[in-house]
Amino acid sequence: MKINIPESKQERVVIVGGGFAGLTLAKNLAKQNYQVVLIDKNNYHQFQPLFYQVAMAGLEPSSIIFPLRKYFQDKSNTFIRVTEVHAIYPDRKQLDTPIGIVNYDKLILATGADTNFFGNEEFAKHCIPMKSVSEALFLRNRILTDYEHALSITDYELRQQYIDIVIVGGGPTGVEIAGALAEMKKYIIPKDYQELNTNEIDIYLVQNGDQLLKGMSDDSADKALTFLRDLGVKVILNDLVTHVDGENTYLKSGQTIPAKKVIWAAGIKGNIPDGISREAIGSGNRIKVNAQLQVEMYPDIFAIGDVAICMTDNHPYGHPQVAQVAMQQAKYLAKHLRPNSVASSWPGFQYKNLGAMATVGRHRAVVDLPRWKFQGAFAWFVWLFVHLFQILGAKNKLFVFINWVWNYITYDQSLRLIIRPFQPKKPS
């Protein structure tokens, strides 16, 4: 069965994934003479850099997501289908989805990345990932529920398992979560949970390496470490988690940390549908593409964003898996993709590094720009401005800004709600 999409004389470009790469490409191609089909398992775009603020009860989930259909309301040549792609059939130029078959003339894979547990089923079972709004909400519920449980526990060792938290991975996600948790411990827990001794709460950040924020400057990495330790985070470098059982976390060094909650921010892997040859898949489960972002072996299939790996002299291990790369690749492809054009005649994609940044907490952030590097309060305000500007929708920008101002003035968050999904009762 084919999905009901109107037939057209326009060339059909199917984009799989509505993240930074897919949405940017669809937006640009919708202005051209194409029939654009955007496929995503959600009917909204997620602003991933602020997932951790949803998890820490600082922002409403609705303020960092944007409906895909609203984004393309005035584009009659753009069609959205909420589904997943199970398999690709390159020889037939078809996609297999749960709701039917989709034909394509050009296919762009922008499926992003998923959490990489490195094949360890134990980690996948007991650790909490942070790659979607639903996972952020799950973490928020777990944190608040565990604090509620801790109030009734008299045994010290058992109480530690509920109130201590381990974060695995010292990249931007891990650093930002650790900083937000430390500020919650300092400003929020003493007011909401007066019966708890906040001195008992320990936040651990475990990094398998000698510095945080790999890929940023040494100055920024060192300053982030200083910021976290000033906030009371126990940063453990040059060590790794070897075993997690849901009650304790065990490190290679022999240390045991009593913690039921382990937040996994230690790696990602490309999210690839079936049908792409193993020969076209590189390290990190990413699809190998040439300088024109064309998938090796498949002239009518392109890959952009986190799922793609384009190895160049300047980037022998591929470009960094960040939003700027995804959006620049999408704009490049939109500029050069034309009906009957030959990709080999295009100039190769060139990534322009606009910089990197990470926040640790109030007046604590690090920013690396191509010409300048700075840390502290000014870096924090720059981080706020950049992220506010990137959020989709004027209403979302306004709500995020109001929440940030309120939190700044009151040292408080107003969204500490445990909202569990409804579970229908099974018939007896």
pLDDT value at position 86? 95
**pLDDT over 80 (residue 414):** no
The single residue listed with the structure tokens 């937006």 is 27
Residues 93-108, buried b or exposed e (16+ Cβ, 10 A)?
bbbbbeeeebebebbb
Mean pLDDT of 332-358: 93
370-409 pLDDT per residue, tens: 999 999 999 999 999 999 999 999 999 999 999 999 999 9
Strands 286-288 and 308-309: parallel
Q: Which of 106, 67, 69 is nearest to 88 (CA)?
A: 106
Residue 274's φ and ψ, nearest 5 degrees, are -65, 155
**pLDDT over 90 (residue 28):** yes
What is the identity of the amino acid at 131? K
52-104 pLDDT per residue, tens: 999 999 999 999 999 999 999 999 999 999 999 999 999 999 999 999 999 99
The pLDDT-based confidence of 417 (bands split at 50, 70, 90) is confident
Rounded Cα distance, 253 and 241, in Å: 9
**pLDDT over 70 (residue 15):** yes
Q: Which of 70, 75, 73 is nearest to 30 (CA)?
A: 75
8 A C-beta contact, residue 37 and residue 19: no
Q: Give Rg (Cα) of the chain.
A: 23
Query: In the structure encoding, which two tokens stand for residue 324, read together?
Result: 């700027």
Topology, domain 11-115+268-345? FAD/NAD(P)-binding domain (3.50.50)
pLDDT value at position 428? 64
Q: What is the Cα 88 distance to its own chain's centre?
A: 25
Which residue blocks in 12-120 are alpha helix, DSSP H?
A: 20-29, 51-55, 68-71
Strands 127-128 and 261-264: parallel
Tell me where in the chain the CATH 3.50.50.60 domain(s) lie.
11-115+268-345
* CA angle 369–375–377, rounded 5-degree value: 120
Return the H-helix or E-strand segment holding 309: strand 308-309
Query: In the structure encoding, which two tokens stand for residue 362, read together?
Result: 């109030």
Q: What is the DSSP string of 326-361?
A: HHHHHHHHHHH--TT--GGGSPPP------EEEEEE
Mean pLDDT of 242-247: 95
152-185 pLDDT per residue, tens: 999 999 999 999 999 999 999 999 999 999 999 9
Tell me where in the chain the CATH 3.50.50.100 domain(s) lie.
121-266
CATH hierarchy code of domain 121-266 = 3.50.50.100
The pLDDT-based confidence of 135 (bands split at 50, 70, 90) is very high
Rounded Cα distance, 330 and 323, in Å: 11
Query: Residue 47, SS3?
Result: coil
